[in-house]
Amino acid sequence: MSEEEKQATQQITVKSNRFGEFAVPTDSLIEFPSGLIGFPKEKFYVVVEHKPPFSWLHAVKNPDLAFVIVDGFEFGPTYEVKVPFGDVEIDLQKDDEYAMLVIVTVRPDPSQTTANLKAPVFVNLRNRKGVQIVLDDSRFSTRFTLWAPQEKKEGEQKTEEKK
């Protein structure tokens, strides 16, 4: 068995208050050398697939720490951000494949669920290292509403007007 094959078969157990215990291959871990904003001590995370388009970015050592995420490319061409090519921490080069993740805040009222477009997370897929970047761009908000409020149907408006 080659060294790559051994590494691919090695697993780590992640304890989660949301998902219980689960095993993941060690080569699926993502290292954040500086942590994420507000969580500098948590260096290793794993992506847990959920209901598309949502996934979880779960801390490996903290069972309480997990972020709902979406693929940043899903926001289309209006969400054009500067990719941190040349970043020393993640060694992201122009020819590297990368993921751009956006952290979502889910609220009890789904219409108030927001995405943090101001601080995307970039992951270099070659070396599985990530960094969160704060964009100096007023076009992007930390609370971008994911769903536009639904317009009331005619019957609902008339019912409310009578109240």
Per the domain annotation, does 31 fall within a domain?
Answer: yes
Would the pLDDT of 26 be above 60? yes
Per the domain annotation, does 155 fall within a domain?
Answer: no
Per the domain annotation, does 162 fall within a domain?
Answer: no
Per the domain annotation, does 152 fall within a domain?
Answer: no
Is the pTM higher than 0.95? no
| Two tokens, residue 34 | 């500086």
Per the domain annotation, does 161 fall within a domain?
Answer: no
In the chain, the number of structural domains is 1
Per the domain annotation, does 163 fall within a domain?
Answer: no
Q: What is the CATH number for 74?
A: 2.30.290.10
Q: Which range of residues forms the domain containing residue 40?
A: 3-147
For 103-128, write each residue's pLDDT tens digit: 999 988 888 999 999 999 999 999 99
Per the domain annotation, does 107 fall within a domain?
Answer: yes
